[in-house]
Amino acid sequence: MQAGGRIVALSTSVIAKSFPQYGPYIAAKAGVEGLVRVLANELRGRNITVNAVAPGPVATELFFEGKSEEQITQLSKLAPLERLGQPEDIANVVAFLAGSDGGWINGQVVRANGGFA
């Protein structure tokens, strides 16, 4: 990767909530977050940023799969904004981190979740 490059990984805000039965998922995403911090240091001096975005509940096909309407409504109300995130909400954060405006953000996990966690 050339100088000025951007690496944006995806994690989850579920890490901060520690929901039962999410152990393997949380463990995998915690590894992603650890890797972001280490890789940011390993790429020292190369002007390459490494960050992660950790979405909360987002209205995607995968999120809706296997959930009742009641569960979806309940999860929608967990964040102070009282709505599910939209794919565009997450895309905008990724675009910020990948663009020139995000050039001073490095080794961070941005929890884009409407205040969910």
> Active-site residue numbers?
25
**Amino acid at site 44:** R
Alpha-carbon distance of 86 to 51, in angstroms, equals 20
Closest by CA to 33, choosing from 107, 112, 116, is 107
Q: Which two tokens stand for residue 78?
A: 């967990």
